[in-house]
Structure 1
């Protein structure tokens, strides 16, 4: 019986890359839980975790740029760059025995990149029982370059927004029905989170003052609210976090934003809360909605005065 049957020989350089990947995964999982309340699979999960790579985007030389995923949700606020070699076989090429995790050749990487397709790469932990060694952060590729089309992606979150330094205060007022009753069109989603769900989701409208492309720009931010009264449970780790930051999603169409922008700026209501279904947005209200709903007020707004 050959030694490799019990103690597979690992390629040192590739193992180092796997260790770095493992550390990045742990950091990403913690952040995903903090800002969205949807942690990535644990480090011991046999399901592993996924990274989304879109070859239509620019990539560093000899590296991939990807995004961690939670199940089939792309988390663009969790980017990662990794060397091509991370996808090469982790085990020594000695006798050709690869029970799992055969990796991908350089030629296969180039072919996939030339197709410019979005891909979902799944990393699965190599179990200690299988290798007869103590747990170590080694991964095999459960699925390699299987195309990850729209059908394989359930949702998409853009970069985090948590600071509004040019808003000095927000007025606690009722929003006129003329704005509540309208539908507004979301545009530009393809630049921020193109696979955002078409199902109903919460959002925030932010009237910008310094947008170089549009003097009446209203940015649309994704929001995943959390219920009031769960802060203690979150501190104790009994409930996931979430609801305290927003995520880039797009803009209100410039054919519909002028009047609304003027109202938001003139009435010190530069942040409004709404609902999105498909690419249509309806306004629910301003900060006054938190007087009557059961949603936790976002922490990223704590430093803005209410009047």
Structure 2
């Protein structure tokens, strides 16, 4: 069955790149609504932007969606990962600016807020996207791939020259609660040199050592150090889950990313949906729904209806 939030939940913070204050409220929504953002500060244009792969437009360092009127919302990957990770299929996200608040740089604050709001089961049947054959995109040494699997699996590898990150690889079956247990608190990361470059070019104005892991060679500059020894690759997996959520339904398949990023994952979804023989809709049985990332994570707040 499809789900939504038991009640609305609000998040206040600043945009990572803009540095501007922003308030975002995630509201319950009805069956087949999907995830939709609504810009409350926009007048005279359509303020609604569906969180879907075909609304993604090129953007540096984050995922940005835009509607036909040019109204956009950026840095949506962490809230999208949180929604998937707690099993929310329908929500209206009202936001008073162009960028989702960065909070602590992970999905954990979003997950905790939505778990407190609870989950409501709706009347509509849940459909998933089953991957039927391998689909792959490449760019230099970077690769992103989807192939058949019985549930969503993510396998990610990264390789950075900075010794504080280096080579990292992790593989997870994302079934029932794996995102909350393993990934949700892993923060975005960058090198000090990248911070200097971004700020010189008007980016990362809201970034701090508290909402990102900043490294310089073999040093972790953020206070308190790492939350996990492999926090960097865990965050890349978090990002991948958020970007895959833009498929518009749960994915049954194995995602493999090697040095992949937001743009490459979106290119992969476009390649998948361009090939009608590579995927199919599948009605989720109760047993199948139990193997989805958010199953059982949010306790129901009110009765199903």
TM-score (norm 1): 0.22
Larger RCO (CA within 8 A; separation ≥ 6):
2
TM-score (norm 2): 0.22
Which has the larger Rg? Answer: 1
